[in-house]
Amino acid sequence: MNMRADQETTLAGTPAAAALPAVADLDTIVSLAKRRGFVFPSSEIYGGINAVWDYGPLGVELKNNVKRAWWRSIVQERNDVVGLDAGILMHPQVWRTSGHVGSFSDPLVECTACKRRYRLDELPGTGDLTPTQIADPEIVAKLALVCPDCAGTLTAPRRFNLMFKTFMGPVEEDASVIFLRPETAQGAYVQHRNVREAARKKIPFGIAQIGKSFRNEISPGNFVFRMREFEQMELQMFVRPDEAATAAFDEWLPRRLAWYKAYGVSPERLRIREHAPDELAHYAKRAIDVEYRFPFGWKELEGIHNRGDFDLSRHAAESGENLDFFDPATETSFTPWVVEAAAGADRAAFTFLIDAYREEEVRGEKRVVLALNPELAPYKVAVLPLLKKRDDLVEKAHAIRDGLAKEFPAVYDDTAAIGKLYRRQDEIGTPWCICVDVESLDDNAVTIRDRDTMEQERVSTDRLQEFFLTKLRAARP
Ligand code: GAP
């Protein structure tokens, strides 16, 4: 694979400019998500709170499955990566040392008439600006930018720090200010020596972490794409300096792209984009974004960063602790470099949801299907009695569900006719439905219907667990 970022071309080799989103209108996904219980606005009965979303019964299953799939590929299947669950709250010095207090900011402009605030680079007409142009204090005047809501005059841009602050302890004073972490990565850096020693790892090794992060985004939006409270899945690989870091970067980028593809994201809607030197985050020597063609354009899904020794050197200098690695083979010490694969759990779940969405016509009727990989599907199996008024069928269907649910999520439903029940399960991505009919009472077999092919087969109830476990294993990338 050509490791040079080429945003003109998708991973399928097709022109990126011609890529169509899987769903033309984001509202299709937003309404499905709400109607079927994937995602709800937070605190909705009080009018909601901007940029915070709650995951409903199906959403929490989907997101948990995404996190499990990530953890399996990053931690479980590798011998050189271990896990960590660091606190959201950390010593405030962490964020001064990491550069976030000084540099983790976006350019903010304010309308002098209506007082609305905007992120400069999200205003109409700023899409093609370089980071250097965005940093230009005269840019608003040069481009004659006005408030998109009321056409009022906009102020010159100023840097707005994205970190949330709160107070630790019972006294609300400057000395007790702490931050909600804006990335999980720092937990891995300040714990890397403890983790390495306890896990008896040598360089290269990695620390993986999944957890909440918080950013006071100026212009959140596009549903769960940009939120103020979100979850990250971040891998920090600690490697030898320089060429080893370049090699690790070149190794992890295709590995992460392969993960999205293996779980069903179309390569025609994936591309990579290298950050220009003036766009790099304050810690990065090199950065490539994995981008997805969302209904609202090409946007970042995950970032692969070569952070050099930026974080560890600064933490060592500030704390006075030795964070170097002593290599007994060469009897030399060095500060490890870090290569990071930083993904968003919400963005990944959102992407899988959008990319799985299909509308098709079956016998003159619209069928909506979420063609999720079975491992990501909220329920693996739905058990449906053909006749809900027949107690013996209902009892048998419940018994089948209870047995299967010991191995994987399975759901019982009898609230509509069988055709409608199938459609409902298609719409939430359930890969297999079991129909329990009158014959099942005699032959102890059930009909299994496949979500994608809609084909049906008769399987003995004694074989059901093995049948589905084999299918689930086969579907796992
Ligand atoms: N530790 C490096 C880091 O945090 P980042 O590119 O700022 O890098 C990594 O964030 C990933 O976290 C992004 O690619 C995205 O998937 C997710 N993410 C960042 N900000 C987000 C937000 N406001 N809402 C949802 N996800 C976000």
Which tens digit of pLDDT belongs to each residue from 142-186? 999 999 999 999 999 999 999 999 999 999 998 899 999 999 999
* Closest CA to ligand 1's atom 4: 183
Q: Are residues 204 and 296 in the same domain?
A: yes
Task: Confirm whether 247 is domain-assigned.
Answer: yes
Q: Are residues 314 and 396 in the same domain?
A: no
Q: Are residues 69 and 116 in the same domain?
A: no
Q: Are residues 12 and 71 in the same domain?
A: yes
Choose which residue among 55, 230, 265 to substitute to test ligand 1 binding: the one with the highest number of ligand atoms within 8 A of its C-beta.
Answer: 230
Task: Confirm whether 81 is domain-assigned.
Answer: yes
Give the residue-averaged pLDDT of 335-354: 98
Task: Confirm whether 47 is domain-assigned.
Answer: yes
pTM, two decimals, is: 0.96
CATH number at residue 422: 3.40.50.800
Task: Confirm whether 365 is domain-assigned.
Answer: no
Q: Are residues 376 and 424 in the same domain?
A: yes
Q: Are residues 423 and 314 in the same domain?
A: no
Confidence of residue 1 (pLDDT cuts 50, 70, 90): very low
Q: Are residues 245 and 209 in the same domain?
A: yes
Average pLDDT, the chain: 96
Whether 10 is in the pocket of ligand 1, judged by its Cβ within 6 Å, is no
Task: Confirm whether 359 is domain-assigned.
Answer: no
Q: Are residues 347 and 425 in the same domain?
A: no
Ligand 1 centre from 303 Cα, in Å? 8
* Closest CA to ligand 1's atom 16: 344
Q: Are residues 40 and 171 in the same domain?
A: yes
CATH number at residue 236: 3.30.930.10
Task: Confirm whether 346 is domain-assigned.
Answer: yes
Task: Confirm whether 366 is domain-assigned.
Answer: no
Ligand 1 centre from 222 Cα, in Å? 14
Q: Are residues 11 and 144 in the same domain?
A: no
Ligand 1 centre from 242 Cα, in Å? 25
What's the total number of domains in the chain? Answer: 3
Q: What domain range includes position 72?
A: 5-100+166-353
Ligand 1 centre from 331 Cα, in Å? 38
Of the residues 137, 161, 185, the one at which a domain ends: 161
Q: Are residues 289 and 329 in the same domain?
A: yes
Q: What is the tens place of the pLDDT at every residue in 22-76?
A: 999 999 999 999 999 999 999 999 999 999 999 999 999 999 999 999 999 999 9
Whether 210 is in the pocket of ligand 1, judged by its Cβ within 6 Å, is no
* C-alpha distances out from residue 35 to 25, 57, 234, 432, Å: 16, 11, 31, 21
Q: Are residues 344 and 395 in the same domain?
A: no
Q: What is the pLDDT of residue 129?
A: 87
